[in-house]
Structure 1
Amino acid sequence: MARVIDPYALLGLERDADDRAIRAAYRRAVKTAHPDRGGDAEEFGKLQAAYDLLKDPVRRKVYDDTGYDPQLVDPKQLKGLMMLETLVNDFILDLREPGSFDPVAAMRRKLSDDIVKTRFHILELERHRSRVRKHMDRLGRRPDTDVLGSMLRARSQSISEAIKNAEAQIEVIEEAYQMLEGYSYEMEPLEIEARAAE
């Protein structure tokens, strides 16, 4: 699931590598990856980010303990994390007693509902775009300027962009949902019994 760049793997290092080994591995890697030497700029950026993390003892310790560093995370995963952050804030602010409700299940439900709503929105947009295109097909054009045709084409393009954005939003929501895999929440025994009795 995690698409965080592993700085150790990227530089070909063991987890216990010292500063000298990190520096040497970085220098070897950038010889061919540097854009001035025909390398890929994106790959070079990843190497630089990995090196920056490993040479910073605090960031390295956090990465070693958590497997996470915000500068090495895939952008889509970062958006998913930001979405989860909002949901975490919601359950932290919930006034119910911890253990009396399952915040993990609540977050999953919210994300599932958001996916359904976004898919419904896409269907509505697709229907609207189809109507616009049908109007375009039936519209006779003026010989000099096609003001109405231009407006309809622009509207169709705008709707297509909105559909792409909604599809990207679904990917982010699915990423956030996937991050919740493997989590469970321990409910208070009385709450579990009360739920079973219902």
Structure 2
Amino acid sequence: MVKDIASNFRKGQVIEHEDGQLYVVLKAETFRPGKGTPTTSIDMRRIADGVKTEITVKTTDTIERAFVEEVPHNYLYLDGADYIFINNENYEQISLTGAMIGDGLMFLQENAECRILMFDGKAITITLPSRVTMEIMSTEPVVKGQTASSSYKPATVETGARVMVPPHIGVGTRIVINTEDSSYVERAKD
């Protein structure tokens, strides 16, 4: 294990907390008040049982980072409650639960290349591509007179995820989505 300062942690990284358990970072934010000590707030999920917790520490406090191996896999299919992935190098299949995938589940597409984080030969969590391209399945009609550039409308994509899109985007349009914050990036160029 290696120690790193709290402000360096990002989503998807794995830490070994003081209780000896492994946690995956869900969100890390650094707060720098005008007066006082800067702090880092880390939302994390315990890998063993999925319990979510949050810690707030000084940005310069050290936390142990677990050494994990990132192995590229492709998503194949859903088998009951398990999501099946294949390693393209040795063709071994691995199954993950929905809890291990987390919020990225709504952007998981067949044949999508993902990175599975392994610790001591066991899968602990997954990293999805930062951007995915999906088709709009339904959206609300444009309200006449609503032409402000900052106005967005809700839309549902092929996996059921809801995304806010500009008013000119309609059903059947393929869009690029940022998987980190579920935001619309641009119209797909394919």
**TM class, shorter-chain normalised?**
under 0.3
Q: Normalising to structure 2: TM-score of the pair?
A: 0.23
Work out which structure has the larger RCO, using CA pairs closer than 8 Å and 6 or more positions apart in sequence: 1
TM-score (norm 1): 0.23
